[in-house]
């Protein structure tokens, strides 16, 4: 077993939104800083660095987690998804993103990537949520602009749309 020494930069490789990426990180480097400043995917934002605001929510191996509560070196070999991976390659917004757009579910947009990543994960596992479910599912993401009402509406609308889409397939 290898001990990665402090004050040295170690190679970290993982899959980011389906593409292999790599960079160098000291053991203590947070995954947020690595994704943003080493890889350059700045869509994931940093809001509190103690796991409460949810702005940095990403998916690691298909599960929504706080990127500020992970070390970059812990991402080695993982499959990571961030907000940049949500839209189609041609830029077409996903059903969830489009619902956010239609519903005025973002204002400054700083917390939005975290909400989107939480909801992508939640709706995948809970395709038919009630409003109360959505509110509890979102209780780990802080937004100070919208008052959440339109975010909750967007989430419910997206859930219905995703359901209808998968039913028609």
Partner 1 sequence: MKPANFDYARCERVESALDLLAEHGDDARIIAGGQSLMAMLNMRLVRPSIVVDIASLDELAYVKEAAGYVEFGATVTQAAAEAWPALRKRVPLVAAALPHIGHFQTRNRGTICGSLCHADPSSELPLCLATLGGDVVLRSRRKKRVVGALDFQIGLLSTAKQPDEMMVAARYPAARSGWGYAFREISRRHGDFAIVALAAVVGDGKIRLGVGGVDDKPAVHEWDDMDDDSLADALNDFAWDLGGGDDIHATARYRREMVRRLGKKVIGEARQCRS
Partner 2 sequence: MLYKNMQSTDSEAGVAQRPRQNYVGQRVLRVENPPLLRGHGLFIDDMPVKAGTLHAAILRSPHAHAEILSIDVTDAISLPGVRAVVTGQDVAAMTDPLIVGFATPMRYHGIAVDRVRYVGEPVAIVCASDRYLAEDALDHIRVEYRPLPAVVDPIAAAASDAPILHPAVGSNVVSYREFRHGETDKAFAEAKRRSEIVITYPRNSITPIEGYAVVAEHLLDSGGYDVISNFQGPFSLHPVMARALRIPGNRLRHRSPPNSGGSFGSKLALFPYIVILCIASRLAGRPVKWIEDRLEHLAAASAAPNRVTRIEAAYDDDGIVSALRLKHWDDHGAYLRAPMPAPIYRMHGLSTNAYGIKHVDVFNHILVTNKCPTGAVRGFGGPQLYFAVERMMHTIAGELKLDPLELIRRNLIPAGSFPYRAPAGALIDSGDYQRLIDETVSGGGLDELRQRRDTARRQGKLYGIGFAVVVEPSQSNMGYISTLKTGIERERSGQKDGAVAAATVSMDPLGTVSVVADSVPQGQGHQTALAQIVADQLGVKIEDVVVNLEIDTQKDGWSIAAGNYSCRFAPAVASATHLAAVRLREKLARIAASSLNVPPDNVEFADRKVFARDNAENWLSLHRVAGQAHWSPASLPDGMAPALRESVTWSAPELTPTSARDEINTSLAYGFGFDFCGIEIARETGEIRIDKYVTSHDCGTILNPGLADGQIHGSFAAAIGASLYEEFSYGEDGSFLSGTFADYLVATAAEMPKLDILHPVQSPSPFTRLGAKGIAEGNQYSTPVCLANAVADALGRGDITVPLKPAKILEWISGDEAKSRSVAAKASPKGSSINGEGLAYVAGDPQTVWSALLNENGLRAAIPGCERLERVGENAFKATVTLGVGPVKGSFKADIGLSDLDEPRSAVLKGVLSGLLGTASGTGLLTLVPQNGGCRIDYRYEIHLSGQAAMVGGRMVNAAARRLINEFFLRFAASLGEVNRAGTSLPSWRARIKSLFGAQQ
Judged by the rule CB under 8 A, the positions of this chain that interact with partner 1 are 1-7, 26-28, 30, 33, 49-51, 54, 57, 63-66, 68-71, 73-74, 76, 118, 121-122, 136-137, 139-140
Contact call for residue 97 and partner 2 (CB under 8 A): yes
For residue 123, with 0-12 CB atoms within 10 Å meaning exposed, 13-18 middle and 19 or more buried, which class applies?
A: buried
Encoded tokens for 50: 């103690």
Tokens for 151? 């975010």
Angle ∠(157,162,164) on CA atoms, nearest 5: 95
Site for partner 2 in 58-77 (CB under 8 A): none
Task: Supply the DSSP symbol for 44.
Answer: S
Interface contacts to partner 2, rule CB under 8 A: 7, 26, 28-29, 36, 41-50, 52-53, 55, 82-84, 86-87, 91, 93, 97-98, 100-102, 104, 106-113, 116, 134-136, 138-152
């Amino acid at each position: 077993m290898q001990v990665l020494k402090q004050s040295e930069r170690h190679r970290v490789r993982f899959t980011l939104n389906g593409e292999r990426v790599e960079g160098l990180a000291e053991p203590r480097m947070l995954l947020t800083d690595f994704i943003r400043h080493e890889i350059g995917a700045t869509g994931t934002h940093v809001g509190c660095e103690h796991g409460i605001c949810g702005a940095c929510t990403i998916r690691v191996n298909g599960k929504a987690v706080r990127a500020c509560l992970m070390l970059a070196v812990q991402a080695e070999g993982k499959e990571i998804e961030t907000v940049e991976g949500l839209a189609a390659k041609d830029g077409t917004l996903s059903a969830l993103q489009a619902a956010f757009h239609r519903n005025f579910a973002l204002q400054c947009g700083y917390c939005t990537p975290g909400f989107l990543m939480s909801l992508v994960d939640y709706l995948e596992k809970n395709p038919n949520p009630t409003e109360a479910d959505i509110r509890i599912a979102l209780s780990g993401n802080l937004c100070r602009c919208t008052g959440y009402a339109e975010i909750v509406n967007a989430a419910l609308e997206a859930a219905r749309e995703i359901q209808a889409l998968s039913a028609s397939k």
